[in-house]
Chain A
Amino acid sequence: MYGVQIAFRNYNPVDGFTGSPWVGLQHFIRFISSYQFGQVVGNTLWIAVLGLLVAFPIPIILALLVNQLQSERFKKFTQTVLYSPAFISTVVVVGIMFVLLSPRSGLVNNAIQLAGGEPVFFMGSAEWFRPIYVISDVWQNAGFAMIVYLAALSGIDPALHDAAKVDGASKLQRIRHIDLPGIMPVITVLFILAIGNLLNVGFEKALLMQTNLNLPTSEIIQTYVYHAGLQQAQFSYSAAIGLFNSILNLVLLLTFNWVARRANQATLW
């Protein structure tokens, strides 16, 4: 945190953190007025919002379904299988994407060709970056996120379900009126946490998935910081962008926590 000050200075290694001259908000202004600004911030928000809209509800749905399963064995099996990809490293998951989606020899393109289609160069096209990113995210993480909701579901008093059954409620009605309200606090807290990390998530994966061809959609704030800062050594400029990202994030978090509080929902603090 102490190092954050270089975002407001013209950092050079000779003078060090405290010796470099102050330049105020110059770096922030340079970023905001640069031609990449719109694209980079837009890409970041796209990925984040798309990820949230698609990837956030799926674990909840899975948990509700798994929770209703009759067979304990199938329940356990489903849990284990669905969350096993969480233990595969990001590098390997992206590696899997590259081999399976490879335009000449990949499984997916073989299937497309078998169905009479034209092969698609998935990893090298800007349009495909977002769908692939989000789908692989769900593939890898939905099962793991599901466990939290299952834990919350197991905390619901079974008497409620019994009473509802006596009154003739169907499974769907019980999910709607007992399970969902029961795990609502957990959903809200996890949602706020997700918002709080909205702009940070997936940086490593985006960086790994990046190819020169998909840059128009894959360059997000964080990868931009990495390129400008570490590869081109513009330390102050990219520190300013990183700080910009953090502040944006914090604002989002505070806003949503406030909204949740106004709505009388669970909050973080």
Chain B
Amino acid sequence: MTLNTKPVAVPAPATRPRPAKRTQTFRDRWADSAFNIAAVTILSLSIIAVVYPLYFIVIASISDPNAVYEGKVWLFPSGVTLEGYERIFADSRIWNGLGNTVIYTLLGSAISVTTILFGAYALSRKDMPGRKILMLLFVVTMFFDGGLITKYLVVRDLGMLDTVWAVVLPGAVGVWNLIIARSFFENTIPEELREAAQMDGANDFTFFFKMVLPLSKPLIMLMIMVHVVAHWNSFFDALIFLNDDTKYPLQLVLRNILIQSDVSSAGTTGGDIESYAAAQRIGELTKYAMIVVSSLPLMIALPFMQKHFTKGTMIGAVKS
């Protein structure tokens, strides 16, 4: 079983030059404009379906919680308040989680990107012994793994429970990314280049650092971003491997507050029902604000990342 998939080399972005207008029959022109209207309508509705929930969360996060509760907030915020945000920034769990996430993201991405670049380059070299077998072993793990429990036991027996390593090491080398990187090297680094460099006296390491890496900037950017996004958003490894809540990453803190409704941050001090309900509404407000705060960094980075992701998807697009 080998993966014979070759990437499609798509040089240009997903556009192509418009061909010159040609005359069409009346019937076709009618059918085409009907199609255009349908296409634009469907896509516009999809855009609204994607954007509105996010927009609503943003306006709800700065609105008076009572107005949101009574369903008075639809298109514009009402009774603007920043209390939700104030509460978040006063919550030490959030700051702590954010700090941990930054550490896990930086460390984890550095480890993953380095190992993938080295590994994929080695696997792309046709003269590497055992290349086929290694690749086969990697691909097998893509579709067949020992499961959660064995993973947990292995991590436990390596003594990594409750350490940073449990979060950054187990998933360090993603096979999918490895394949993308390998294909990239195979397609962009011609063998002749290496031969020429060797003639000039470069050994494998010099060649890798001085030639391969500078030529692979798009790939390196892609790999960095894939891993930064993945680490920023991941919670599951932390959930199963970490017991110590001072080590929790942001996403796990969010899960506990957003989903498990652990609203102790809302400060339920008052004994009567009235103030309890008010506290709960402010708790909801905090949730809206929390969603905004935790997604904002990636959303701001999105326009910068988009180019690389689109390119990466194309590098990785499979074709037989």
Contact = CB atoms under 8 A, between A and B. Distances in A.
Taking chain B's interface residues, is the majority helix, strand, or loop, or is none over half, making it mixed?
helix
Interface stretch (A32-40, A126-134, A157-165): A157-165
A171 B31 contact: yes
A102 interface: yes
A114 B74 CA distance: 12
Interface in A148-207: 148, 150-155, 158, 161-162, 165-166, 168-172, 185-186, 189-190, 196-197, 204, 207
Contact of A65 (B10, B42, B151, B287): B42
Nearest to A149: B317
Contacts of A225: 147-149
Interface string B283-315: 010011011001100110011011001100110
B145 A3 contact: no
B236 to A, nearest CB: 5
B254 A148 contact: no
Nearest to A63: B14
A91 B254 contact: yes
B145 A1 contact: yes
B47 A150 contact: no
Contact of A253 (B71, B143, B258, B281): B143
B284 A168 contact: no
A94 B28 CA distance: 45
Interface in A64-93: 65-70, 72, 74-75, 77-85, 87-92
B233 A91 contact: yes
B53 to A, nearest CB: 6
Contacts of B47: 77-78, 81-82
B36 interface: yes
Interface in B1-39: 1-5, 8, 10, 12-17, 19, 22, 24-25, 27-28, 31-32, 35-36, 39
B68 interface: yes
A65 B299 contact: no
Contacts of B295: 87-89, 92
Interface residues of A, number: 97
Contacts of A196: 142-143
Given A4-B146, A78-B47, A154 B10 contact: yes
A67 B53 CA distance: 26
Contact of A242 (B19, B148, B294): B148
Contacts of A266: 319-320
B68 A161 contact: no
B319 A152 contact: yes
Contacts of B288: 99
B261 to A, nearest CB: 8
Contact of B318 (A2, A83, A186, A246): A186
A170 B14 contact: no
B141 to A, nearest CB: 7
A99 B287 contact: yes
Interface residues of B, number: 92
Contacts of A113: 71
Interface string A224-253: 011001100001001101110111011001
Contacts of B22: 162, 165-166
A120 interface: no
B133 interface: no
B71 A242 contact: no
A165 B23 CA distance: 9
B43 interface: yes
Given A88-B298, A152-B319, A78 B43 contact: yes
Interface in A204-218: 204, 207-208
Nearest to B252: A91
B152 A229 contact: yes
Contact of A152 (B13, B39, B146, B317): B317
A161 to B, nearest CB: 7
Nearest to B46: A82
Contacts of B2: 269
A169 to B, nearest CB: 7
B88 to A, nearest CB: 13
Contacts of A23: none
Given A139-B49, A154-B14, A162-B19, A243 B5 contact: no
8 contacts: A68-B36, A81-B50, A87-B299, A88-B298, A100-B56, A150-B14, A207-B236, A239-B147
Closest 6 CB pairs of A and B: A242-B147, A110-B71, A3-B150, A89-B233, A95-B258, A266-B320
Interface of B: 1-5, 8, 10, 12-17, 19, 22, 24-25, 27-28, 31-32, 35-36, 39-40, 42-43, 46-47, 49-51, 53-54, 56-57, 60, 68-69, 71, 141-154, 157, 229, 232-236, 240, 251-252, 254-255, 258-259, 261, 281, 284, 287-288, 290-291, 294-295, 298-299, 302-303, 305-306, 309-310, 313-314, 316-320
Given A70-B36, A82-B46, 15 more contacts: A65-B42, A69-B40, A88-B298, A105-B284, A110-B71, A154-B16, A165-B19, A235-B149, A239-B146, A241-B147, A242-B149, A242-B150, A246-B145, A247-B144, A266-B320
